[in-house]
Amino acid sequence: MAARFAGRAVRTPQQLAETHFADLPSDRVEPALWHLAAELDAPLERLLPTDRLAHELCADPGWEFDSGHGLLAAELRRWAAARGARFESGSIETVEDYVRAFARWAPI
């Protein structure tokens, strides 16, 4: 997957938070970015809010069942339910969608 991001500028999670998620608390944005990158084995320093989970962040062929996508959706569903909300997994298409859902529902 790393080859997909080779030409991108390197940014810290703090820079991403300040540039693209200034309306959210950074103490929610940075853990969301770290968690997403770790679960999807994606290069955190090269993520963009517009990266799509089904395209830029999809698993390499042969690794689809070990990609982390299912875990991310299950966690969001569980966290939303704990807050009395309903989570639709189809509503998370991009890094930005995930970060906003994480910031809203994650129990940190």
> CB of 53 within 8 A of CB of 62?
no
Q: Considering only CA atoms, which of 108, 86, 88 is closest in space to residue 29?
A: 108
- Considering Cα of 42, then 69, then 49, then 38, what sign does the dihedral take? negative
Q: Which two tokens stand for residue 91?
A: 């509503």
**Using 50, 70 and 90 to split pLDDT, how confident is the model at 104?**
very high
- For residue 99, the 8-state DSSP code is H
61 HSE (CA, 13 A, CB side): 0
The pTM is what? Answer: 0.88
Rounded to the nearest 10 degrees, what angle do helices 26-40 and 95-105 cross at?
A: 120
In sequence order, what are the residues at sequence separation of 6 or more whose Cβ sits closer than 8 angstroms to the Cβ of residue 39? 68, 71, 72
**Using 50, 70 and 90 to split pLDDT, how confident is the model at 23?**
very high
pLDDT digits (tens, 9 = 90+) for 55-86: 888 877 765 555 567 788 889 999 999 999 98
